[in-house]
Amino acid sequence: MSLVKKFVTVGGGTLGSRLMGFGREMLMAAALGTGPMAEAFMAAFKFPNLFRRLFAEGAFNAAFVPLFAKEIEAGGMEGAKRFSEEVFGVLFTVLLGLTIVMELAMPLLMRTIIAPGFSGDKYDVTVRLAVIMFPYLACMSLTAMLSGMLNSLHHYFAAAIAPIFFNIAMIGALVYGLWMDSDAITIAYYLAWAVLVAGLLQILVLYVGVRFAGMSIGFRRPHLTPGVKRLLLLAFPAAVTGGIQQINLIIGQAIASLKEGAIASLQYADRIYQLPLGVVGVAVGVVLLPELARALKGGHRAEADNLQNRSIEFALFLTLPAAAGIFALAPDIIRLVYERGAFRPEATATVAAVLTLFGFGLPGFVLNKALTPGFFAREDTKTPMRFTMMSMVFNTVLSVSLFPILAERGIALAETLAGWLTVVLLFYTLRKRGHLTIERSLVSRVIRMMIASVIMAAAARYGANYFSASLSSSATSLEQAAVLLPLIAAAFFLYLVIVFAIGGADIGMIRRSLKRGRGKPAVADKMDGDIQP
């Protein structure tokens, strides 16, 4: 399977999840708006979600995948199965203990770290919601384990669609709450229990996928074997690095809790830009790491350089126009997606401003996912961790400085600048070490992509102004959608026409991306022939 086809497989599944996520957020905005219960749920969920990214997803995808690939090379499927069971026994035990400790400490954590600005009933409800949802972390540890195995075995589909079931559970809870005309606090509790149900559904889907891929996994008594020790040594810095965005969001949330409605505004904006970030960024990160690890283990340096160049090219080809489109159409997008029910027009302007600032950081966030595997595939997780810590300090200082002046917009700006700082540090270090060779033709194409994106954004803004009456708050959602969706499609088509016309992309680029790298290890070719679920 070609690199781009793998990107499309993962990106397509993520796209489905993100689109359902839009539906979920639209229902949540209608049910909870930016009120106290919306902030209570979002604050409560952010904490288990952070630990899921740090310990379950971040550590596994960064540390487990290269070691799993090495076990396949050395001991075949049986050796990989044994290694997976040893790792899971230790990790699950650690996460279970962490869950118990966090449950007991939740009131203190909420008061001092998660939402220090909350008080009274809002604080009490947030604590109870967090206690209900935190076991989701234990569920997602197994989900991350199974996903890492599937990705390493070239079975991307099941891992890509698993998050869809999270949205199914959440949408079900929201529809039921709205249908029963429940109050905001009751709907928040429905959502909290839906999070746990979603974790169990994802485990089931991925377990079926692993069985279909020809591998089973059991639970072994926790034991620190040499392989497990190596994983733990790599996992801690990888966990911190993989969760950079979530860590910055937690910092921003703690500061934002001092202003009513700020947490909800950040969350709603985050959902919009997560669509292109997820479709492109997650796809690049998930696919590139195992591919790069195999190329380097096999001594194929030229293939590794080609993989990274094609990944950067693919990422910017789609995220540059996405960022430009967000800049041009942010208010119209927010109005269509959220402005109904408890979500009032005055909230649209605030969320749109936050989204615009996040949009400027979109290419940087995706490049981060394209550059970090260059370290992880070489089993270097400490360098990205150092850069992550620098970025966190930078983000915290900026957030604290800008919040009194720009409120939630200051937090968004700080996160965006911190993301770009990380990209600069990663890029410079890879180049300095000789681990990344950027093609001159790639630089030329990226400049042309930027030109095409600017022209597209200007045309999109002109179109939005021309149809302003149909995109205003007085227009129905159906009327807004009938104008905005074709406008977005036309703008992207215009980008494609311009970028191909001026040489930002060409058929040769597509062929290079579709072409399979030469010298791929035999085990990878063998697995490429496996039936895809």
pLDDT digits (tens, 9 = 90+) for 474-489: 898 899 999 999 999 9
Pick from 84-93, 257-266, 285-294: least confident: 285-294
Round to whole Å and give the CA distance between 213 and 190: 35
344 lies in some domain: no
206 lies in some domain: yes
Task: Output b/e per residue, 448-468; b: 16+ Cβ within 10 A.
Answer: bbbebbbbbbebbbebbeebe
Pick from 13-17, 288-292, 349-353, 502-506: least confident: 13-17
Per-residue model confidence (pLDDT) at position 321:
93
Mean pLDDT score of the chain, rounded to an integer?
A: 80
218 lies in some domain: yes
Per-residue model confidence (pLDDT) at position 446:
92
Q: Which two tokens stand for residue 160?
A: 């890509």
Q: Which two tokens stand for residue 110?
A: 């909420």
Q: Is the pTM of this model over 0.85?
A: no
Its domain, for residue 161, covers 36-260
pLDDT digit string (tens) for 14-62? 566 667 776 787 788 778 876 788 888 888 887 776 666 665 555 566 6
Report which DSSP code applies to 469.
T
Nearest to 418 by CA among 406, 402, 407: 402
27 lies in some domain: no
115 lies in some domain: yes
237 lies in some domain: yes
Is 180 buried (19+), middle (13-18) or exposed (0-12) by CB count in 10 A?
exposed
116 lies in some domain: yes
Q: How confident is the model at residue 213 (pLDDT cuts 50, 70, 90)?
A: confident
Residue 350 has pLDDT above 50, yes or no: yes
Nearest to 287 by CA among 163, 370, 394, 178: 370
Round to whole Å and give the CA distance between 439 and 435: 13
Residue 494 has pLDDT above 80, yes or no: yes
73 lies in some domain: yes
Per-residue model confidence (pLDDT) at position 285:
58
Per-residue model confidence (pLDDT) at position 16:
63
Provide the number of structural domains found in the chain. Answer: 1
